[in-house]
Structures are given as C-alpha cells and as structure tokens.
Chain A
Amino acid sequence: MSLVKNRVKFLCAALLVALSVFVLSGCGAKAPQKVTKAPTPKQVNMVLASTTSTQDSGLFDVLIPAFEKANPTIKVQVVAIGTGEAIQKGRDGDADCLLVHAKSDEEQFVKDGYADSRADVMYNQFVIVGPANDPAKIAGSKTAAEAFKKIADEKAKFVSRADDSGTNKKELKIWKAAGITPSGSWYKKSGQGMGETLKMVDELGAYTLTDQATYLVMEKEKAIESKVLFAGAPDLFNQYGVLVVKGAKQEAAAQTFHDWILSKEAQQTVIKNFGTADFGSPLFTPNAK
C-alpha cells in the first residue's frame, strides 16, 4: 500500500518537474522569436508627459506624426496629465521629456537638478468661461483678479480643477492676486481634467478658468454651451515650456524632441498653423528663441 502511495508521489513530482521544464523552455523559446519579429531594432519609445490641453486641443495629433516622420526611429508615447503630475513623473523618472505650462515650477525643476534647462515653446491664453447671462457680471473687468473678486462677492458657482495642474496653479495665483482664499459651497473642487471640468461647469451653470484651446475644441464639438466672458488680460497669459529630464531612460530621444520642437520647422509650419483651418485663428503662438 505504502509502495503504491510512494509511486504516486513520485509520479506527481516527476510530472511537476516535466511541466516546469516545459513552461520554462517555452518562455525561453519565445524571447528570441520576438527579437527576430521586430522590424526596426533601433526604435526607441520616448515618454512625453504633457498637459491635457495639448492633447485635448488636438495639437499632438499633428505635432507627434510630424516629429515621428522627421525622426523615424523615435516613437513618442504621450501621457496627457496635469502639469503638476507631469513634473512629478519627471522627478520619478517615469517621463523622458516634459511639455508643460507652469514656468515657476519648471524653473524649480531645473534648480533641483532634474533638467539642465527649460525653453519657451509657445503660448496661448487662459479665459474665464461661465453661463451666458453672466450672473456675477464679470465681463468688462480690467484684470482676471478683478473678475474673480466679483465671482467671490456674488458667491457665484466656480469649479476649480484642484488637481495641481498648470491651469489650477494659474487659477490659484489669480485668487491670490485678488486677495481671496476661496471656500464655501459656491467654490467646487472637481479633481478632474479640463474637459470633464468644463462639462461640469456647463451643467452647474458655473464659472471656471480654462485654457482657450480646450474650450474652443469643446465648444466646436457642441459639448458645452458656456461662453467666454473674460479674456485678453495680461494676467491670463499661458506660456508652455519644454524640458529634457536629466538621466532619463531615453534622454537622447528627448533631446531630439526638444531640439525639434524649437526648430523653425515645428514652430512655423506645425504649431503656427494648427487650428487656423478649424477656428480661423491659431490656438497656440510659437515663441521659441
């Protein structure tokens, strides 16, 4: 009886060994196959962390293909998140290149040794949108800070992204300039991207600060009915910068992208023309030096 048991045990063990050898050899055999399959062995995947505005406006749909056409060995993987998250990704080494819009944070990033330099790429403007009847009467304000003050005085609903994004940072700066610490049930924090926040603003009949590009795209798609109620003030200027993350996995590719986006080709042909056909005027103004 015990002999039979032992035999069964032995058989089980043998089967297990055979199975593991089979599995292991299977894995081993797969690896070289993959190498032979790859058509261009030198292709590198570069991670570009950027903001939702560049993605949602559709700029990347023309910018990335143009870059990849000029540099066929580099594939750009865009991670569109808020500026704060993008910079954090840079610090964590999860991104090779940053295209973001919060100049003081970018300069801090350089100061902390995560990048050698930052460069201006392009700008557009922030705008304040809200319900067409403008309950807080912000139209005609002199500065964005004055408009914000009127919203706070009226306790008109305002949705903040509250997500540490470039737009959120800009918004907080304007509140600070207005001398107001916004709080109360009229001041809502969505913790979401620009598109979702704009939809929320539309539904709630609230105000918000948004980059012009995202607003125009959503308005054109008839996703929202909110109107631009205040624009064009100097405190709504929105500068984008590019940074190569020092010591990143694909630093060389990131440097190539950095140089390309500052080149005449990218600046004058791609960025300057983007949006003209759809919106009648460019969404971003290139200003690389």
Chain B
Amino acid sequence: MIDFAKFSIFTDAIKGGFGLLSSGVIDVWTIVLTSLKVSSLAVSIALLIGIPFGYYLGTRRSVSRTTALVIANAGMGLPPTVVGLFISMLLSRRGPLGDLGLLYSQTAMVIAQIVIAAPIVAAIVASGVSAVPAQLRLQVRSLGASRIQEAVLTLKESRMVLFAAVAAGFGSIISEVGAVQMVGGNLEGETRVMTTAIVQFTRMGNYPEAVALAIVLLAIIIAVNVFVTLGQTSSDRHTKAIN
C-alpha cells in the first residue's frame, strides 16, 4: 500500500528547500520579507483598533456590550475568503473605493488582514480584561485614577492575554491564503507572500521552493509562540512573587 521508497519526494524537497535557503536565493527572502512587512503592519493596526474595543467590551456591562461581544466573537470565526470577497468588491475599479486603485496592492492586503485580525484581538482582550476583578478598578478609581489610568492598569494586569492576542492575530494572518490571494493577487515582487507562493509552487510541482517557504513560515509561527510562552511564564513568576 505505502511505497516507502517514494517518501523521497519529501526528503528531496526538504533537502532542496534548505539548499535554496542557505544559498541565499533572493526570491525566497523577498517573499518572506513581504509577508512579514504586510502582516506586522496589519497586526499593529489591528491592535490599535482591537485593544480599546476589547477593553470596552470586557469592562462594560450592558445589552449593547453583550451584542458587541457576540459580534466580536463571531468575528473571530470570520471566514477569510468572505473578507477577501468583500474587500475585493469594495476596492475593485467598479466598486465604491475603485478610484483609489488599491486592488492587487500591499495596502489591500493590509486592509483585509486588519479586518481578519482586529476581531480576534478584540475578543481575546475582552475575555482577558473581564477576568480582572471589578473591585480592583473601583479601588484605583477611588484612589483618584483617571479613566485612562484605570484602563492602563487593567490592561497591565491582563498583559498575558495581550501576548496571546498578538500571537493569535499575527498567526492567523501570516498563515492565511484565501483573502490575500484575492485582494493581493500574488504578484511577484509586490504582493507575493509565503502562503500564496506556497500554493503556486505546489500547483506547479516545484516542491523544493514550496518547502523552503514552508520551513520559514513554520519557524516564524514557532518563534512567535516561543515569545508568547516566555511572556506568559514571566507573568506567572510575577504573580507568584506578589503572592
């Protein structure tokens, strides 16, 4: 049933992949840099939008807040292809924002990735912030802290969750292919990112190139998670020290 000799398709591709990476074939690194640039920018903006929104959702108690939380949680499961579809129509020359000429540009990819990542950030921040005891916030308020100081303190208390929000947001968009393919178009040297290139190379049967990019993508995902785990464990120590 399983022809073990044919596993050479993997070993050959992995060998070829590492060869491409070490030989410094510039093509691969251009793609990696584009990925990092677009996704970092998108996640930064998603944090700017998602953190205040998540803070609001996590600290207010009202019907509108519950509704908004449902929307944010649903947003976490927003299918990227659906985001790709709507952003494509929005930015198409025949669409309402067509005059900007943004379709098939890095800007379009950043916009789509913000839409995907912002609800994820907001929902995770909301859950983290709501775990901070309300009494703590009341106390600092009674000690004369402003609303902003209160928010900063609450967010500081839930910084473990902030790490998770960054990781989840970044992880979801750097590994995403549907939306970036639709709005970016996989143009070489412009909007070709790791995921769209992996799809293309796989379709063309160029497995070593695809594997080279897969190795880098996996390494980035692992690095992000190491960063988050370290952040979380240092927080743990911090809490233990207080106790």
Contact = CB atoms under 8 A, between A and B. Distances in A.
Given A189-B188, A196-B185, A84 B200 contact: no
A162 B188 contact: yes
A204 B188 contact: no
B203 interface: yes
B92 interface: yes
Interface string B90-110: 001100000000011000000
A188 B190 contact: yes
Interface in A157-181: 162-164
B178 to A, nearest CB: 13
17 contacts: A84-B204, A89-B205, A92-B205, A163-B200, A188-B188, A189-B189, A190-B185, A190-B186, A190-B187, A191-B186, A191-B192, A191-B197, A191-B200, A192-B181, A192-B186, A203-B103, A204-B104
Contact of A88 (B189, B190, B192, B204): B204
A191 B177 CA distance: 14
Interface in A192-207: 192, 196, 200, 202-204
A191 B190 CA distance: 12
A275 interface: no
Interface of A: 81-82, 84-85, 88-89, 92, 162-164, 188-192, 196, 200, 202-204
B104 A203 contact: yes
Nearest to A203: B103
Given A88-B204, A192-B186, 13 more contacts: A82-B203, A85-B204, A163-B200, A163-B203, A163-B204, A188-B187, A188-B190, A189-B187, A190-B188, A196-B185, A200-B104, A200-B187, A202-B93
B188 A85 contact: no
A203 B92 contact: yes
A81 B203 contact: yes
B93 A203 contact: yes
A210 to B, nearest CB: 16
A88 B103 CA distance: 32
Interface in B156-204: 181, 185-190, 192, 196-197, 200, 203-204
Contacts, number: 47
A190 B104 CA distance: 10
Interface of B: 92-93, 103-104, 181, 185-190, 192, 196-197, 200, 203-205
B185 A192 contact: yes
- Give me the 7 closest cross-chain CB pairs, A-B, nearest first: A189-B188, A88-B205, A191-B200, A191-B186, A203-B103, A188-B187, A200-B185
A180 B52 CA distance: 54
A43 to B, nearest CB: 22
Nearest to B102: A203
B204 A164 contact: yes
A189 B187 CA distance: 5
A146 to B, nearest CB: 26
Contacts of A200: 104, 185, 187
Nearest to B196: A191
Contacts of B93: 202-203
Contacts of A204: 104
A85 B104 contact: no
Contacts of B192: 191
Nearest to B205: A88
A188 B104 CA distance: 11
B87 to A, nearest CB: 13
Contacts of A192: 181, 185-186, 200
A188 B187 CA distance: 6
Nearest to B202: A85
A203 B185 CA distance: 11
A82 B186 contact: no
A202 B104 CA distance: 11
A82 B189 CA distance: 22
Contacts of B200: 163, 191-192
A192 to B, nearest CB: 6
Contacts of A189: 187-189
Contacts of B185: 190, 192, 196, 200
Contacts of B205: 85, 88-89, 92
B188 A191 contact: yes
A162 B189 CA distance: 13
Contacts of A81: 203
Contacts of B187: 188-191, 200
Contacts of B103: 203
Contacts of B190: 188
Contacts of A202: 93
B188 A82 contact: no
A98 to B, nearest CB: 14
